[in-house]
Chain A
Amino acid sequence: MLSLTTTQQTIIDSKFKKVDWLFEVEDKNQALYHWSTKDIPEVTVRLSRTKWTGIVDPTANSISWTPYTTWVDQQLSYHYEFNVTDFSGISMYRNKAERGLVAASTLKFSVLNKDSIYNPKDFETGRVKVSLRISDGTNSEVIRVWRFVIKRTEPHYQKFACICEDWLQEKLRGDYPNTKLVRNMFKDANITDDNVCVPIPFGTAYVPIRPVYVNSNVSVTGTDISAVASADGSRCLIKRSGATDFKDFNSLRYVTVSGFTESANNGTFMVLCATGQQLELSTSAGLATEAEGDSVTITQGQVYYVLGDSDYTYSISKVRSPRAWGRKSEWTGDYNMYPVFAADSWVARFHQSTEWPISIRFLQSTITDDDGDSFRVVQPFIADADNDGKNDSVGIWVSGDRLLDMPTKFTRSAGPGTNPAKVLEWILRDMGVSQISYSHFATAAATFDSWGLAWNGALWYKEDRKKLLSRLLVMCHSNLVAGESAELWPISAISQKTVTGADILKQADIGVGSFTYTDIRTEPSDDCGYMVWQQDDAAQDAFMKTLVPAKGANMTRYSNNICELPWVQDSQDALRLACLSFQRQLMTEATINFSAKATCLALNPADVITISDESVTGHRPYGGGTVLQWSTSNSWATDNQWDTLDYDVVIESMVINKDVSIDFSCTRYSCSLDDFGTLIPGAIAPATDDTSSAWMPALSGPLSDENIVKDSITTFKNCLIVSPNSGQGDASSLAEALAALKDSNANGICLKSGIHVLTGPITFPDRDVDIYGEAGGSVVVKLYDDPAASTYHFKIAPKQGRTYSFTDFKIISPERTYTSGQNNYVFYITGGKSFAFKNVQFELFGKAISPHIAWLPPTVANGDSGIHADFATQCESFTVDQCLIHGGRYGIYLKNILNATVTKNVMEYNFLAAFSCEEVVHSSVQNNVMAYFEKYGLTVYGTNTAITGNYIESLYDEFVEQVNLWGIYAQTSYGVINGNRIKIRHGRANDCDSFALSAASGVFSVQGNNIEMYAQGAAGKTMNQYAIYLNSCNDGSFCGNNIVITGGVITGARDGIALVSSARNTIDNNTFDMGSAMALSGYGIVGGVGCIDNVGEHNSCTNCASPYSVDVDNLINVRDADA
């Protein structure tokens, strides 16, 4: 209802009114005409084209609504010429927002065009301002003003009709928001063809934002770029020496490289890890090492999520996986770097510094599209692709060949806030509505504040403006009136006027009046509907549907009536709004039509008025008291509102005729209408679904610590992650992870970089286990110290049929004091089907092998064993590959194995034995280094043995007595011992024997070995030295070996190849050097007791007493002349 002054109210209450209709018509050429339905010589009016000052053009980006300024009023006098005919009045309609309608006020009149002095086309799109001025004979006031736009003109007979609609309608045509469709940003991007546009958030929005792929967006060119080939399994690298801009490349995306001389270095490669000056590519990328110098260009296309216009700043608090992706996973961001830091500075720090927390996630930047428009975008670093503890990969979800939108919770700077009036005002401005009644919007804003109503949401797809405006009006239970300016009116159920028989017109003294009553009830009619809303902190691209009664608690009849409230997150407010909307939508009872006097001129469509019957004595001409209760079973049965003669209706339309009579069309409802403030619904608290162990899709792609991955680990992921750093893994200790394996489908346990300290023995569950260190990381497992007893750190009890593997980590024994008899085992294995150790390093505690390990005690006889496997039931396979066992008592001890493979290991400073095995059916010991042992280098007891390519060296200078030293000892049915290099130094020893290679009880092929021996003995002490010592070896071949034996031994044997009880062996092409300072007789080949039918030829001997020595029990058949 209009707010009238006292004078205005006096005028419309007067029984006499003089009416002037004043038309200000502006054609499209800005020619202004003052016309009326009669000639009016002089009228003083307010300037029609009033302007705002201090308001920035709303089409500009930098919209600023404050400070508000007053109207620029100018009083001008005009002569209103008689030029308007066929004017029948002005039609006004209620916005039926609950039905998605924003109705237009309409106007039609004709303009006299004698002699065709006007071109009617000039008036199309022209403006019309109509003022209704009324005088009561004393005062004259403009009571109402409307503004219209001329939609079209229809010329005829020297006049033309102007068909007009209110000025707001032209602003409500088309789609909104005005922002660009994301699919139009880049012509070469493959983006879903829909209406998703650059979003406009209000308050805190949580809506999907669209990804765009920007081709070759990151480009680096320089002559300081080099390539490094893979070596020994390392990753290929591209390096830059003069800049740190490689940080701009994304990991796990392709780069295109050009400009290298080596063709292998040009092409497309996947980046596994990007840092400031280095790109890590896969081992198989095939790069060739190439120094810098060429002008090399590297480009990469990247995916960005579009936040909005670049003139604003954005703050992102959370993102989540797209709903289409399945299981929900959210990532919060602890830091929003923009604009606090320069765009690139933090990136460098992120990659290159450890001071930044790993939770940095949302990298914002600005991109420019094909049209040159700039937009703020974000890349969510939500995945840790290389398990280095830092999120280094952008979250991208693909469905088919499209990237999915990512729901993002964010705010934008310089927004209108969360008050619906402010938001509506902003939107109307952005729609091009320049004339807004600030007093009305300010009043509405205060009302919304009193309601506690707030909006949080965003416009992120284009839709019809009227549909949008309808939804917004429903969301604030308001009506938008296009008067002289746009006015926002919160809807009230309070009656604005009681209409009586004194107001309702009749056409003649005798007869009925203009009142009509039409029943519009439908049977059955719905009494409830669904409100569509979303609670706080939930993405607003899908909504909850809650059934809401239109009145009271009745929800007995419903169809799919929907009330959309996407921005209202308070459930009580949402219930109120939905209830109020459904009352007007569903509870209609009758249509009331009547004509009234101008005394009703202040009313507006959407106003509630009261129809009173009581003014007509003895009659009820207006239907009061006649309405049936719509349901006899509802709570309104006792409501006596129907017993009165008065009832409320809502004005649907008003036609203000030329003679200021008013034709009303109203709706009567079957219930009393509520107000926002009178409804007190209970809050809705949606339950949190804690369902777990549900089926989930198999995952691939970058790992993450977040929920979806954590959950999937327990069912699908191939490993559990153990991190010594809190919050970075699935478990904080290896023991915890092993215990958790029982709940997992996986066997893997990934140890993240850091020091994992054991606090007790590790026992293994009855299942396969695969423990490995983080790729490229530094993983250390520190054993615990229990000096009171011998300990078994990794104890694997008999589990038949299980397989175990251990890869890529380092084990360190604590430094401690040994007690007598204490022998600790790092791995103590007594059962299992298959074992594999690869790249496991052992730093073991044990006796020092002077002078090489200073920190070890020099005299104790006990210490750690690296791998001790003694199977009660034969193990099928045992592999040790590329391991380092440093220190300790034993390196590796294996027993009762079908196939044992020990390759490329380094076993050093194992003071008792480097490698020993027993009861091994097939053993392959190849290319190992066994150094600085005190007693045994390599000992094999088995059936089929291959010992090839090993480097075996003892450098034992400790004073010792009666301790023999073996480089290789093999007692096996069939043995191949080829190509080994064996160096045996036995210094400061008394009565000790040295054996570089000792074989027994089998058929051997010993060829191509290089053997060096040195011994130093005290005077009078016997120090026997045997390079190759054969005992009970028959039918073998001992050829091509090169043997050098030196030393200060005074007493004892010094034999190149010594045979005991061995027959039918072939000994050819060996060379022997017994040293220049030989004080005793050395022989190349010595036959001992029980030897027969051994043959040799082409053997050579230097500094020997003789190449061959044959005693009475031996027979050596010398077949060549050099013997």
Chain B
Amino acid sequence: MAAYEMYDFLAKTTADCTVRLSTAIIPQHIMTEIGDKNVIIHLGDDGSEERIALSNDSIFRLRLKWDYLKEADAGTIVNHYYSTGLANGMSRSWRWHHPTDGHDYTVRFDTPLSRAIMPRSADGQIHQIAEITLRILGQAT
């Protein structure tokens, strides 16, 4: 069986924001891919069930986390999150390059952004971005 990526189950979607988050900022932990379908299971009193698919669309989310980032990289992420012309929080979709499968996806932030700033080191301040979730909306066009 061939390898399948999210890319194979998503339709093309044009991002609101064409600016792509810098590919240099690579997730520093295990990148968790969460997939789902919009299906409801009706359970009868006799134990039988009825499965209701409200949609055939696949639902994907990715969890990312950065424990150590330079101030500039963290600023890039923060700027991307908060700038109204970019992601504007969760309100706008944007183009994201998957670091492992090599595809570009249209995504949006699906969680708040949490940043921690460490004491100054030799390289300057150490910034930490807590786990965020990206909602994968489709293939980037």
A506 to B48, CA, bound (A): 10
A257 to B99, CA, bound (A): 110
A660 near B52 (CB under 8 angstroms)?
A: yes
Q: Which residues of A contact B51 (CB under 8 A)?
A: 15-17
A675 contacts the other chain (CB 8 A): no
For the complex, what is the distance from the CA of A659 to the CA of B54, rounded to whole Å? 7
Q: In the bound complex, how far is the Cα of B14 from the Cα of A577, in angstroms?
A: 64
Q: Which of A446-454, A495-503, A893-901 is the interface stretch?
A: A495-503
**Contact partners of A597 in chain B: CB under 8 A:** 42, 44, 50
User: Closest residue to B56 on the A side, CB-wise?
Assistant: A18
B40 contacts chain A at the CB level, 8 A cutoff: yes
Given contacts A15-B51, A17-B53, A18-B56, contact A615 B42 (CB under 8 A): no
Check if B46 is an interface residue, CB within 8 A of chain A. yes
Mark interface residues in A981-1023 (1 if CB within 8 Å of B CB, else 0): 0000000000000000000000000000000000000000000
B39-73 vs A, Cβ < 8 Å mask (1 yes, 0 no): 01011111111111111110000000000000000
Residue ID in chain B nearest A615 by CB atoms? B46
Q: Which chain B residues lie closer than 8 Å to A616 at the CB level?
A: 45-46
Q: Cβ of A502 and Cβ of B44 under 8 Å apart?
A: yes
A38 touches B44 (CB 8 A): no
Q: Contact mask A920-935 → B, CB, 8 Å, 1/0?
A: 0000000000000000
Identify which of A19, A503, A621, A659 contacts B44 (C-beta below 8 A).
A503
Please, how many angstroms separate the alpha-carbon atoms of A1026 and B112 in the complex? Answer: 154
- The residues in A between 492 and 546 inclusive whose CB is less than 8 angstroms from any CB of B are 500-509, 513, 515
Count chain A CB atoms within 10 A of each CB in B44, B50, B57 and give the residue with the most: B50
Closest to A15 in B: B50
A 4-33 contacts with B by CB, 8 A: 15-19
Pairwise interchain contact A17-B50, C-beta atoms closer than 8 A: yes
Q: Report yes or no: B44 in contact with A16, Cβ–Cβ below 8 A.
A: no
Residues of A within 8 A of B45 (CB): 501-502, 504-506, 513, 515, 616, 621
Q: Does A196 contact B (CB under 8 A)?
A: no
CA distance A621 to B45 in the complex (A): 10
A504 touches B44 (CB 8 A): yes
Considering the chains assembled together, what is the distance between the CA atoms of A615 and B46 in angstroms? 8
A598 at interface (Cβ–Cβ under 8 A)? Answer: yes
A661 adjacent to chain B (CB < 8 Å):
yes
Q: Hey, which chain B residues are within 8 Å of A18, CB to CB?
A: 52-54, 56
Q: Which of A15, A504, A615, A616 has its CB near the most chain B CB atoms (within 10 A)?
A: A15
Q: Which residues of B contact A507 (CB under 8 A)?
A: 43
Closest CB-CB distance, A513 to chain B, in whole Å? 4
Q: How distant is the Cα of A937 from the Cα of B48 in the complex, in angstroms?
A: 128
Q: Are B46 and A16 in contact (CB under 8 A)?
A: no
Task: From the candidates B46, B52, B53, B56, name the one contacting A501 in the complex (CB within 8 A).
Answer: B46
What's the dominant secondary structure at chain A's contact region?
loop
Kindly count the residue-residue contacts between A and B in the assembled complex, taking CB atoms under 8 Å apart.
66
Residue of A nearest to B51 (CB): A16
Contact partner, A598, options B49, B52, B57, Cβ 8 Å? B52
Contact partner of A599 (CB less than 8 A), chosen from B47, B50, B53, B54, is: B50
Known A-B contacts A15-B50, A17-B50; the reply to A506 vs B43 at CB < 8 A is yes
- How far is the CB of B113 from the nearest CB of chain A, in Å? 22
Check if B42 sits within 8 Å of A505, measured CB to CB: yes
List residues of chain A with CB within 8 A of the CB of B43: 505-509
Tell me the bound Cα distance from A677 to B55 in angstroms: 47
Minimum CB–CB distance for A1048 against chain B, Å: 142
Tell me the bound Cα distance from A993 to B47 in angstroms.
143
CB distance from A42 to the nearest CB of B (A): 14
Q: Nearest-CB distance from A137 to chain B (Å)?
A: 9
Complexed CA–CA distance, A513 and B45 (Å): 6
Q: Which residue of A lies closest to B54 (CB)?
A: A19
Whether B42 lies near A659 (C-beta < 8 A) is: yes
B16 → chain A closest CB, angstroms: 11
CB–CB A17/B52 < 8 A: yes
Q: Which residues of A contact B47 (CB under 8 A)?
A: 509
A37-58: which residues lie under 8 A (CB-CB) from chain B?
37-38
Query: CA of A17 to CA of B47 in the docked complex: distance in angstroms?
Result: 18
Closest chain-A Cβ to B61's Cβ sits at a distance in Å of 18
Residue in contact with A15 in the complex, picked from B40, B49, B57, CB distance below 8 Å: B49
B residues in contact with A661, CB < 8 Å: 42, 52
Quote the shortest CB–CB distance from A89 to chain B (angstroms): 13
Nearest chain A CB to B60 CB, angstrom units: 16
Residue of B nearest to A513 (CB): B45
Q: Once the chains bind, are A659 and B40 in contact (CB under 8 Å)?
A: yes
Measured CB to CB, the nearest residue on chain B to A503 is B44
Q: Which residues of B contact A15 (CB under 8 A)?
A: 48-51
**Chain B residues near A504 (CB-CB < 8 A):** 44-45
B52–A502 touching, CB < 8 Å: no
In Å, the complex CA distance between A245 and B20 comes to 99
Give Cα A506 to B45, complex, Å: 6
CA distance A509 to B49 in the complex (A): 10
| Interface positions of A from 472 to 507, Cβ below 8 Å from B | 500-507
Q: Report the minimal beta-carbon distance from B36 to chain A, rounded to whole angstroms.
A: 14
**Proximity bits, B87-103, A CB within 8 Å = 1, else 0:** 00000000000000000
Within 8 A of A (CB), among B18-53: 40, 42-53
CA distance A875 to B45 in the complex (A): 111
Contact of B52 among A509, A621, A659 (CB under 8 A): A659
Complex Cα gap A502–B49 (Å)? 8
Cα A74 to Cα B52 in complex, Å, equals 30
- Would you give the shortest CB distance from B90 to chain A, in whole angstroms? 13
- State how many angstroms separate the Cβ of B141 from the closest Cβ of chain A: 16
* Alpha-carbon distance A505/B42, docked complex (angstroms): 7
Once bound together, how far apart are the Cα atoms of A37 and B38, in whole Å?
12
**CB distance B48 to A19 under 8 Å?**
no
Contact pick for A502, options B40, B48, B53, B55, CB 8 Å: B48
A12 to B, closest residue via Cβ: B50
A506 to B42, CA, bound (A): 8
- A633 to B56: give the CA distance in the assembly, Å: 61
Bound together, the chains give a CA A1056 to CA B40 distance in angstroms of 143
How far does the alpha carbon of A291 sit from the alpha carbon of B52 in the complex, in Å? 100
Give the chain A neighbours of B56 by CB distance below 8 A.
18
Asked if residues A598 and B50 are in contact (CB atoms below 8 Å), the reply is yes
CA distance A502 to B48 in the complex (A): 6
A660 to B51, CA, bound (A): 10
Chain B residue contacts of A621, Cβ below 8 A: 45
> Which chain B residues border A501 with CB–CB below 8 Å?
44-46
Within 8 Å CB of A515, what residues of B?
Answer: 45
CA distance A206 to B34 in the complex (A): 76
In residues 613-658 of chain A, which contact B (Cβ within 8 Å)?
A: 615-616, 621, 658
Closest chain B CB from A986 CB (angstroms)? 134
Report B136 CB to chain A, min CB distance, Å: 16
B residues in contact with A502, CB < 8 Å:
44-46, 48
Contact of B53 among A16, A500, A508, A658 (CB under 8 A): A16
* Set of chain B residues within 8 Å of A513, measured between Cβ atoms: 44-45
- Tell me the complex Cα distance, A38–B59, Å: 13
Most chain B beta-carbon neighbours within 10 Å: one of A17, A507, A509, A616: A17
Residues of the B chain whose Cβ atoms lie less than 8 Å from the Cβ of A509: 43, 47
Q: How far is the CB of B101 from chain A (nearest CB, A)?
A: 25
Smallest CB-CB separation from A38: which chain B residue? Answer: B55
The minimal Cβ–Cβ distance linking A599 to chain B, given in whole angstroms, is 7
A residues apposed to B, CB below 8 Å? 15-19, 37-38, 500-509, 513, 515, 597-599, 615-616, 621, 658-661
Closest 9 CB pairs of A and B: A501-B45, A501-B46, A18-B53, A513-B45, A659-B40, A597-B50, A16-B51, A504-B45, A502-B46
Sample 18 A-B pairs with CB under 8 A, ordered by A number: A15-B48, A15-B50, A15-B51, A16-B53, A37-B54, A38-B54, A501-B44, A505-B42, A505-B44, A505-B45, A506-B43, A506-B45, A507-B43, A508-B43, A597-B44, A598-B42, A615-B46, A659-B54
B residues lining the A interface (CB < 8 Å):
40, 42-57
Given A616-B45, A621-B45, 14 more contacts at CB 8 Å? Answer: A15-B48, A15-B50, A17-B51, A18-B54, A18-B56, A38-B54, A500-B46, A501-B46, A506-B43, A506-B44, A509-B43, A515-B45, A598-B52, A659-B52
